[in-house]
Amino acid sequence: MSGKLFGKCVVVTGAAQGIGMECARAYHREGARVAILDVSLEQGEQAAAAIGPETIFVHCDVASAASVEAARSAVLAVFGRVDALHNNAGIATPSKPLHETDEEEWDKLFQVNLKSVLWTTKHFYKDLKATKGPILNTASMVGLIGQPNHAAYVATKGALISLTKAMALDYATDGIRVNAICPAGVWTPMLRRWAAEQENEADITSYLDRIHPLGNCPEGDVIADAAAFLLSDSARFITGCILPVSGGAELGYRL
């Protein structure tokens, strides 16, 4: 077996479904050993089994420092090293403007989407320094261009984009590259839940198809292929990159 990630151990958070699972699948296809970290026990186990050999599931709540620390120990017990970290875990609800967002909703979004990166970086930093392994953060186009009625979610993704740049500078001397990937619309279970929350759910599919100049709203494989590149040695001189994988959505929506 060979591939761009052959022999490497890649840790992916939030990989029980959606973009994370598609990325884990792509990493495995490129020859990596993959550790799926997710809070969803049943879905995580199913994802690891579906992806195949050299893939493990570790139950982990990325919003908890203790849970991330325990997950690291579990990964090292099986694979003995960590060569790359993909911070993918995230939530998108609620769909509200800021004045309608309560403190609990705000805190939950920041704990999962942003503070989780603090915990994974703290606990995997030494392992990545030893292997000069890259970090990839799943951000979003909304962190660059905004989105109505998603104030807290947009705030987390905008902060993650800025954090990525700061991390890239901090860890460059360690040989750790840090990049972020920015999807626009991608059909995932989370996006389908978001669509169901909207008043005009019947129009959402048409809307999501229109915003991507290159074509209809894609599945997660388009993100996974770009992510595999950014974690590979082919991207060895790329760091601090905020990469749109959006079908050109940021260039202007189609009429």
Q: 120 lies in which domain range? A: 9-244
In a domain, 104, yes or no: yes
Count helices and strands in the chain by DSSP H and E runs: 10, 7
Active-site hit among 27, 125, 153, 207: 153
Share of residues in the chain with pLDDT > 90 (%): 78
Reply yes or no on whether 27 is catalytic.
no
15 part of a folded domain? yes
DSSP state of 217: P
Structure confidence by residue, pLDDT tens digits, 133-190: 999 999 999 999 998 889 999 999 999 999 999 999 999 999 999 999 999 888 888 7
In this predicted structure, what is the pLDDT of residue 218?
85
How many structural domains are present in the chain?
1
In a domain, 250, yes or no: no
**Any domain includes 253:** no
CATH of the domain at 73: 3.40.50.720
Q: Quick check: is 251 in a domain? A: no
Convert the pLDDT of each residue in 196-247 to its tens digit: 777 777 788 788 888 888 888 888 999 999 999 999 999 999 999 999 999 8
Residue 100 domain-assigned (yes or no): yes
